[in-house]
């Protein structure tokens, strides 16, 4: 198990929050999230929605209850399919404000534990019941559950590639003046080969050098900057790939920090934000685990507003929380998130905030 501690000076976002809440800003706080902007009347240039970690299953009786020693297995997440189908309907019936596109940030399916056949059948379900129903454009990001964690291995990524195309691993696009860069870090740590890690960094650098005048938003499945106290997070997540382990990815982010607004990720099944050298790391819990968050981004000329949105409360399944008593025999907290709900959801000021434009 590799755990490199290369991340220094990581900070938890703070600021004047909603409802006058002022969080503890000591310890590893360095930068701050700017003032919350609740001006809903102002029309943005565009909005997009991030969803991730849906963990759809093609059938409910699974053959992998022993997976990971039973830590996460059959039915752990409850009715993930139901929540995904709710999202499919919500995108059609006006639950959200007008969206230009959907960003699907990895772990669409369960996959792992059932080999390639599990991925094939889960991806087929996801494609039929979600992708083909989408009323708006979408951009996919590969997660470790779409490729057996075999990052960049075509044979393992076959069903993701068949569904979305060979060009949807590491790619970019420009939307209304923002340069989006999507990269595949799904095998970070012990799962990725040295060769692929080198290719990943080279591709990322090439993409970062395109459109030098445009502000950039990066998206990858596994976070690059920790959004919780890192030792607490690595211990409570309990999988070795709790953060992007290859230091060159953070180094490239730092090198291009003057143009990178944020890195959008999922994977760790909690919601949070951190700011490192003016680059925001935003992590959304996704639908599989409580708090079942999605993230709404509203882009204006001078800023990008960020807001976590939960699915409706009648669909909540608190037992799907990865950081509580059910899995860890106690409810995890850290020094910046002093109660358990804050640990998995973020503090109020971390759930709605603005990022200045660059
Ligand atoms: Fe996940
Ligand atoms: Fe993941």
The Å distance, Cα 89 to ligand 2 centre, comes to: 24
The Å distance, Cα 148 to ligand 2 centre, comes to: 10
pLDDT confidence bin for 16, thresholds 50/70/90: very low
Domains of the chain: 18-356 (3.60.21.10)
How are beta strands 352-356 and 101-104 bridged, if at all? unpaired
The Å distance, Cα 338 to ligand 1 centre, comes to: 24
**Is residue 305 helix, strand or coil?**
strand
- pLDDT (average), residues 331-356: 96
Per-residue pLDDT for 184 more than 50? yes
Among 277, 228, 220, 229, which residue's Cα sits nearest to residue 251?
277
Q: Quick check: 353 and 13 in contact, CB under 8 A?
A: yes
The Å distance, Cα 139 to ligand 1 centre, comes to: 18
The Å distance, Cα 198 to ligand 1 centre, comes to: 24
Q: Quick check: 268 and 291 in contact, CB under 8 A?
A: no
Per-residue pLDDT for 62 more than 70? no
Residue 181 confidence (pLDDT): 98
The Å distance, Cα 160 to ligand 2 centre, comes to: 14
Per-residue pLDDT for 251 more than 50? yes
Q: Is 166 exposed, middle or buried (0-12, 13-18, 19+ CB in 10 A)?
A: exposed
The Å distance, Cα 284 to ligand 2 centre, comes to: 12
DSSP 116-175: HHHHHHHHHHHHHHTGGG-SS-EEE---TTTTTT-TT-TTTTHHHHHHH-TTSSSEEEEE
Q: Quick check: 264 and 218 in contact, CB under 8 A?
A: yes
The closest ligand to the CA of 284 turns out to be 1
Residue 41 confidence (pLDDT): 62
Q: Is 197 exposed, middle or buried (0-12, 13-18, 19+ CB in 10 A)?
A: buried
The closest ligand to the CA of 289 turns out to be 1
The Å distance, Cα 21 to ligand 1 centre, comes to: 30
Sign of CA dihedral 66, 70, 73, 79: positive
The Å distance, Cα 112 to ligand 2 centre, comes to: 10
Residues 217-245 pLDDT 10s: 999 999 999 999 999 999 999 999 999 99
Residue 190 confidence (pLDDT): 86
Query: Whole-angstrom Cα distance, residue 210 to residue 206?
Result: 7
- pLDDT (average), residues 309-320: 91
Residue 71 confidence (pLDDT): 42
The Å distance, Cα 199 to ligand 1 centre, comes to: 24
The Å distance, Cα 314 to ligand 1 centre, comes to: 22
Query: Whole-angstrom Cα distance, residue 171 to residue 213?
Result: 18
Per-residue pLDDT for 212 more than 90? yes
Per-residue pLDDT for 130 more than 50? yes
- pLDDT (average), residues 324-353: 96
Residue 39 confidence (pLDDT): 56
Residue 343 confidence (pLDDT): 98
Per-residue pLDDT for 38 more than 60? no
pTM, whole model, 2 decimals?
A: 0.87
Q: Provide CB contacts within 8 A for 226, sequence distance 6+.
A: 7, 10, 233, 242, 243, 274, 281
More confident residue, 58 or 251: 251
Residue 31 confidence (pLDDT): 31
Residue 75 confidence (pLDDT): 64
């Amino acid at each position: 198990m590799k755990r490199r501690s290369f991340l220094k000076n990581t900070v938890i976002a703070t600021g004047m929050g909603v409802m006058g809440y002022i969080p503890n800003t000591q310890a590893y706080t360095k930068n701050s999230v700017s003032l919350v902007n609740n001006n809903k009347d102002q029309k943005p240039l565009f909005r997009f929605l991030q969803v991730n970690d849906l963990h759809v299953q093609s059938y409910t009786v699974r053959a992998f209850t022993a997976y990971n020693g039973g830590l996460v297995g059959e039915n752990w997440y409850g009715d993930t399919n139901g929540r995904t189908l709710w999202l499919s309907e919500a995108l059609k019936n006006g639950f959200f404000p007008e969206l230009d596109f959907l960003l699907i940030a990895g772990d669409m399916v369960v996959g792992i534990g059932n080999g390639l056949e599990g991925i094939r059948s889960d991806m087929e379900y996801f494609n039929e019941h979600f992708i083909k129903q989408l009323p708006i454009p979408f951009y996919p990001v590969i997660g470790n559950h779409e490729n057996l964690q075999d990052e960049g291995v075509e044979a393992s990524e076959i069903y993701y590639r068949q569904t979305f195309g060979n060009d949807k691993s590491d790619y970019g696009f420009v939307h209304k003046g923002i340069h989006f860069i999507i990269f595949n870090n799904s095998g970070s740590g012990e799962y990725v080969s040295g060769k692929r890690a080198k290719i990943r960094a080279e591709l990322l650098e090439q993409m970062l050098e395109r459109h030098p005048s445009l502000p950039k938003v990066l998206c990858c499945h596994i976070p690059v900057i920790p959004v919780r106290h890192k030792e607490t997070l690595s211990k409570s997540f309990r999988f070795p790939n709790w953060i992007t382990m290859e230091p060159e990815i953070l180094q490239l982010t730092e090198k291009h920090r003057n143009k990178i607004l944020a890195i959008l990720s999922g994977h760790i099944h909690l919601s949070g934000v951190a700011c490192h050298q003016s680059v925001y790391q935003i992590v959304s819990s996704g639908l599989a685990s409580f708090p079942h968050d999605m993230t709404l981004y509203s882009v204006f000329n001078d800023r990008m507003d960020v807001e976590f949105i939960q699915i409706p409360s009648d669909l909540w399944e608190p037992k799907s929380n990865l950081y509580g008593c059910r899995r860890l025999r106690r409810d995890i907290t850290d020094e910046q998130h002093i109660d358990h709900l804050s640990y998995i959801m973020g503090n109020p000021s971390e759930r709605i905030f603005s990022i200045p434009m660059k």
